[in-house]
Amino acid sequence: MKEQDPTVFIVDDDREVRLGLESLIRSVGLRAAIFASADEFMAAPRPDAPACLILDVRMPGQSGLDLQRELRGAGIHIPIVFLTGHGDIPMTVRAMKEGAMEFLTKPVRGQDLLDAVQKAIARDRTARQKRAELSELRARFDSLTPRETEVLNLVVAGLLNKQIADELGTSELTIKTHRAHVMEKTRADSLAHLVRMTETLKRSTAR
């Protein structure tokens, strides 16, 4: 699967700031999309590609912090680089708690912003990869039959085939067959690999 070019979204109510930031982003070869308000940004389609959002905290209508909360609520994971005229501490803390990537004070130096943007995109790329891997992993495990899932749970709990057979009231041979199917379907190289994958899935579900 070929990855699309990363996109930088810019939301700022000031036209000149917006255009300046866009120009700066494009000058380093990144794609930029500009919006005058949070609503405009929410209404626009977002390509399936690594991205980051440069967001002005203070805007008429919906503020940057409101937009951040809305995105989180909608399960949209996009790293946000905040820009603020005068960031007070409570505001910064709130934004960081909600998972802001950076909090930069206007006027921001071009290099600082580009660094923050590159970092954000890198993080988004990794996160997207992880999400993709995880969903692939989940697909593999979802393909197991209920019986196979039962066997899997007892295998990773450290039981031997004989014990599993006793537990489930069947023959050791049947268990061996189930177990081979599990290893094949989950593409596990070894028992240790299978345990790791199960742990990864558990952690992601728990989170």
Partner 1 sequence: MRAGDKQVRTTQRMKGTFISPDGSSGSRLGARITGALLRYIAAIAIVAAALWLSLALQAPFGNPFWFLFALAVISSTWLLGKGPGWAAVALSSAMGLYFFVPPYRGWTINLRDLPFFATFVSCQVITSWLISWRGDWEAALRHARDELEVRVEERTAELKAANDALLYRISEQKRAEEALQAARAELARVARITTVGELTASIAHEVNQPLAAVVANADACVAWLALPAPNLEEARAAANRAVEGATRASGVIARIRSLIHKAEPQRGPVQLNQLIDETIAIVSGQASRSQVAVHLELAPDLPEVPGDRIQLQQVILNLAVNGIEAMAPVSSRPRRLSIRSSFDRDRREVHVLVQDNGVGVGGDAMTRVFEPFFTTRTQGIGMGLPISRSIIEAHGGRLWVQSEVDRGSVFQFTLPAAEGRTA
Residue closer to partner 1 (CB basis): 62 or 149: 62
> Concatenated DSSP letters for 118-142?
HHHHHHHHHHHHHHHHHHHHHHHHH
Q: In this chain, which of 85, 99, 115, 191 binds partner 1, going by CB under 8 A?
A: 85
Nearer to partner 1, 2 or 109 (CB): 109
Q: How far is the CB of 51 from partner 1 (least distance, A)?
A: 19
Residue 31 interacts with partner 1 (CB under 8 A): yes or no: no
- Using the Cα atoms of residue 101, residue 106, residue 112 and residue 117 in order, give the sign of their dihedral: positive
**Nearer Cβ to partner 1, position 86 or 207?**
86
Please give the radius of gyration of the chain, using alpha carbons only, rounded to the nearest integer. Answer: 24
When asked if residue 39 is in the footprint of partner 1 (CB under 8 A), the reply is no
- Cα–Cα distance for residue pair 183/130, rounded to 1 Å: 22
Span of 13-21, 131-139, 141-149, 176-184 interacting with partner 1 by CB under 8 A: 13-21
Interface pattern 161-200 for partner 1 (x via CB under 8 A): ----------------------------------------
The residue among 20 and 183 lying less far from partner 1, judged by its C-beta, is: 20
Region of 81 please: left (phi>0), alpha (psi -120 to 50) or beta: beta
The reply to whether 52 sits near partner 1 by the rule CB under 8 A is no
Residues 109, 182: Cα–Cα separation, whole Å: 54
Round to whole Å and give the CA distance between 48 and 77.
12
Contact indicator for 3, 122 with CB cutoff of 8 Å: no
Judging by beta carbons within 10 Å of its beta carbon (0-12, 13-18, 19+), is residue 101 exposed, middle or buried? Answer: buried
Q: Does 100 bind partner 1 (CB under 8 A)?
A: no
- Residues forming the site for partner 1 (CB under 8 A): 14, 16-17, 19-21, 23-24, 26-28, 58, 60, 83, 85-86, 106-111, 113
